[in-house]
Amino acid sequence: MENSAPLHRGGRTIVVIGSSTGGPRTLETIFSGFPLADAAIVIVQHMPHYINNALCRHLARTCLMDVKIAEDGERVEHGTIYVAPSDVHLSLEGNRAIHLFCDEKVQYVRPSIDVAMTSLERSGDDRFVGVVLTGMGSDGAEGIRHIKSIGGITIAQALQTCAIHAMPRAAFETGRVDRMLAPEGIRERLIRIAGIL
């Protein structure tokens, strides 16, 4: 059952969003008018290198969050969106620090949504949200299963709003998705869960 009660003092909200084909446009919709939220948001978008900086610029223009390409070893901070760079996996160590590493592809992709999501560790203070957006394949399904198993909130993009619905469908078929929402609904849900800084 989804829990959207206010976050306990001392904890933090960590959101991991995974997307592939059609993802940049969907992400722009989600973050259009997005406030400075009391959350750290990690985006794992399957994309070539040359799109990394452009995606960050587009998102930064649409929202009040800081937007940057994730760097190895940096600590995640609320009010910031971290975009996983191409061709390396991203994990979160102790739910606090970004680790970038080059390893075998997972679900035929690198970075993998599953790798980022399954790196989260159960914590009594932290709150987790996993979101799977449009894309081919099934990357993110195992991640959604994991986030739900550690008490997180799980969301998948409504299939009729996807450019390609294979990824959110695979997530839904795990039986561990709390809500299927259009991009605008995902935006409102994330704001409600995280709150404003």
Q: 20, 91, 119, 138: which is the annotated catalytic residue? A: 20
Q: Is 46 a catalytic residue?
A: yes
Q: In 107-151, which residue ranges form alpha helices assigned H by DSSP?
A: 113-118, 141-149
Distance CA 78, CA 163 (A): 30
Say which residues have a Cβ less than 8 Å from residue 84's Cβ, sequence separation at least 6.
42, 43, 44, 45, 70, 90, 100, 111, 116
Q: 114, 126, 139, 178: which is the annotated catalytic residue? A: 139
Measured CA to CA in angstroms, residue 152 lies from 26, 87, 122, 183 at distances of: 22, 27, 9, 19
Q: Is 139 a catalytic residue?
A: yes
Q: Is 103 a catalytic residue?
A: no
Q: 19, 46, 126, 138: which is the annotated catalytic residue? A: 46
The set of catalytic residues is: 20, 46, 139
